[in-house]
Structures are given as C-alpha cells and as structure tokens.
Structure 1
Amino acid sequence: MIELQNVNKWYGSYHALVDVSETIHKGEVVVVCGPSGSGKSTLIRTFNRLEAIQSGRILIEGRDIHAPGTDVNAFRSRIGFVFQQFNLFPHLTVLQNCTMAPMQLHGLSRAQAEERAMALLAR
C-alpha cells in the first residue's frame, strides 16, 4: 500500500531523511519511533505532501504521490492524519469533528458518517 524508495529530504545542509526505503502492506501496523530530530515527523509529513522530497519515490497504492501533475487535493481527500499537536474544532463535539470530513468531502449522509465515526470511536 505504501512504498518508500530511497527517499531523501534536506533542510538546507541538514539531511533529514537519508535513502529511506520501506514497504508497508495494507492492514499492517507500523510504529515510527526514535529520538527528537531523527526525522519521524518529516517522514510522515511526506506521505501527505506536506513536505516535498528532493529525491526518491513514495508510492501509495502504486501511484507516485510526488510525481508532477498529481492532484494534491484529490489525493489528500483520501488520507487522514492525527498529528502530535492535533486540534479539534472547539465549538464542535468529538462526533461532529469526526463526521465533518466524511460528509463534506465524500458526500456521506449524517447517519452514514455518524455510524462510521461511532465504530471508530468504539474501537
């Protein structure tokens, strides 16, 4: 499902990701751990194109997500992330926060979105 092939990312002269290669299969659970500054957040941010890579390839479902011409908005509409310092909309309930994107981006009815959200929250 996700394949990294010799991914490199620099910030100026700092080489944050050095030839990272890995394959993550559908349903597989992977933990990215390491000391502060080791590139964990940078790596994860490249999966959603929040960070550009300078070389290598990242394939999701066989598609190179950093290839020129990739519709970033369409791609991102199928990806969900929870960051270290995530923020919910404070004026909404947890359920409303969880159902907003499925309803607005994927056209689910409120009932469908709430059913999916409750299953995820129960899990």
Structure 2
Amino acid sequence: MHHLVRAAAYEPPVQHSNATLQKRRAGPHARFDIVAHWLRTHQQSPELLSFRDIEAQATVSVAGGSDTYLKDSLKLPYLEACVYEALRMFRSEPFRFPLVAPKGGITIRSVISRRESFCP
C-alpha cells in the first residue's frame, strides 16, 4: 500500500488516505491491489462494504503503520516520564559515575580537562 503513504510528514494520515481513495474511486486504475479489491467489492455489493468502511480500513492501514514523529512523541508526557525514570534507574554508562563531579574533576582514561566550559 505504498501509494497510500503520506507524501509529506505534516499531512495528517486520515486526510491523505481519504483523498487518495477519492482519486482511486473517480477513475479506473491499472493497478490491482487491496484498494482495487475493496472498490470492486463496494461496487458489486455496497451493502456488504460501504465506502465509509473502505475509508476506515485505509486510515487504519496508513495511520497504524506509519512512523511516530518526534513532534508526536513530545505530546506523550507519560512515555517521556517512563523513559526518564528508566534512564535514572538503569543509566547507560558502564560505570556509576557521580552525577556531580567532585572538586578537582574526574579523570577518565588518564585525561583530565580543566576547560572553563567543563569546570566553571
């Protein structure tokens, strides 16, 4: 269903899939895919498969399988809290360094930095 994939990341999946279905419904297409099967079934038996059902299935197929964008994930405060809590409990570095460097700094691999940006 690559033809239903959003062309632009900012276009809502529902609007894109519905617009694409309207174009496919308007004229015959040589492509035989699941959408063509849905449209043919709708033409033969509209009582079995309404166009609204086709729109719903296309939206689920497109929106359900689409990537989650950063701007979408920023709207999920519970997910963000879970990530921060997991990072707090299970930090990614192999050794437990203190969160605040002691006076004089920390030596890592015999390298110590006294740059003002690191040690104000």
Q: Is this a same-fold pair by TM over 0.5?
A: no
- With normalisation by structure 2, the TM-score equals 0.24
Structure of higher CA gyration radius? 2
Higher helix share: 2
